[in-house]
Amino acid sequence: MKKRLFHSFALMLALSLTACNNNDTGTKDSSQQEENSSGAKSGEYAEIGSGANLVKFPEDLEKGIVFATYDRGNIHEDIYVNNREAIEAVQNGEEIPSGTVITLVGYEDGELDQYLVMEKRTGWGSQYSPEERNGEWEYQAFTPDKEVRPDNIGRCFSCHANQERDDYMNSMDQMKEFDLGEISQSKNSSSETPIAAIPTEHWKVSEISAHVNDSKDINKEESHLKEDEEKANKIQDVLLKMYLQQYKS
pLDDT digits (tens, 9 = 90+) for 67-116: 999 999 999 999 999 999 999 999 999 999 999 999 999 999 999 999 99
Residue after which a domain boundary falls, among 156, 181, 206 = 181
Domain hosting 147: range is: 52-181
- 3 state SS of 129: coil
Single-letter amino acid, residue 201 = E
pLDDT surpassing 60 at residue 142: yes
How far does CA 31 lie from the centroid of its chain? 45
pLDDT classification of 235: cutoffs 50, 70, 90: confident
Q: Are residues 109 and 175 in the same domain?
A: yes
Alpha carbon distance, N-terminus to C-terminus of the chain: 128
Q: Are 44 and 130 in contact (CB under 8 A)?
A: no
Task: Give me the number of domains the chain comprises.
Answer: 2
pLDDT of residue 34: 40
Question: Using an 8 Å Cβ cutoff, are 90 and 180 in contact?
Answer: no
Q: List, in sequence order, every residue forming a beta bridge with 140; answer none if it has no partner.
A: 117
Q: Are residues 61 and 135 in the same domain?
A: yes
Q: What is the C-alpha separation between 52 and 138, in angstroms, rounded?
A: 6
The answer to whether residue 32 is domain-embedded is no
Domain boundary among 181, 205, 232: 181
Provide CB contacts within 8 A for 148, sequence distance 6+. 140, 141, 142
Does a structural domain hold residue 146? yes
pLDDT at 203: 56
What is the pLDDT at residue 78?
98
The three-class DSSP label of residue 11 is helix
Is the pLDDT confidence value at 41 over 90? no
**What's the mean pLDDT when you consider all of the chain?**
77
Q: Is residue 200 domain-resident? A: yes
Average pLDDT over residues 26-55: 64
Q: Are residues 56 and 104 in the same domain?
A: yes
